[in-house]
Amino acid sequence: MYQIENVLRPYAWGSTTAIAGLLGRPASGGPEAEMWIGAHPDSPSTAIHPNGVTQPLDALIASDPTHFLGADSLAEFGPRLPFLTKILAAEQPLSLQVHPSLEQAREGFARENAAGIPADSSERNYRDDNHKPEMIFALTPFRALCGFRSPAAAKGVFEHLAKVLDSAAVEVPAIISGVISDLSLPNESKALKAAFTRLIEGGSEVSDAIHEVEAVLRAGAPQEPHQDALAAMLGINEAFPDDPGVLISLLLNHLSLQPGEAVYLPAGNIHAYLHGLGVEVMASSDNVLRGGLTPKHVDVPELIKTIRFESMGVPHVEASGTEFGQELYRPPFKEFQLQRIELGPGAEPVPLAQSGPAVVVVVAGSVVLDSPKSDLPLQRGGAAFIPEVENPVNVHPVQGATETSIAFAVTTGLGK
In order of 43, 190, 218, 340, 386, the CA distances from 370 in angstroms are 27, 55, 58, 17, 10
C-beta of residue 212 within 8 angstroms of C-beta of residue 247? no
Q: How far apart are the C-alpha atoms of 146 and 17, rounded to whole Å? A: 26
Give me the catalytic one of 290, 330, 340, 380: 290
| Alpha-helix runs per DSSP H in 240-385 | 244-248, 300-306
Closest by alpha carbon to 191, among 228, 163, 153?
Answer: 153
Q: How far apart are the C-alpha atoms of 270 and 303, rounded to whole Å? A: 10
Name 360's Cβ contacts closer than 8 Å, sequence gap at least 6: 352, 367, 369, 378, 383, 384, 386, 395, 407, 408, 409, 410
C-beta of residue 139 within 8 angstroms of C-beta of residue 259? yes
- Taking the CA atoms of the chain, what radius of gyration do you get in angstroms? 23
In DSSP notation, 125-141 reads: S-SSS----EEEEESS-
Q: How far apart are the C-alpha atoms of 393 and 353, rounded to whole Å? A: 8
Tell me if residue 290 is catalytic.
yes
Q: Provide the 10 A C-beta neighbour count for residue 271.
A: 22
C-beta of residue 16 within 8 angstroms of C-beta of residue 31? yes
Q: Provide the 10 A C-beta neighbour count for residue 393.
A: 26
Name 405's Cβ contacts closer than 8 Å, sequence gap at least 6: 341, 342, 343, 362, 364, 365, 366, 367, 397, 398
Which of the residues are catalytic? Answer: 290
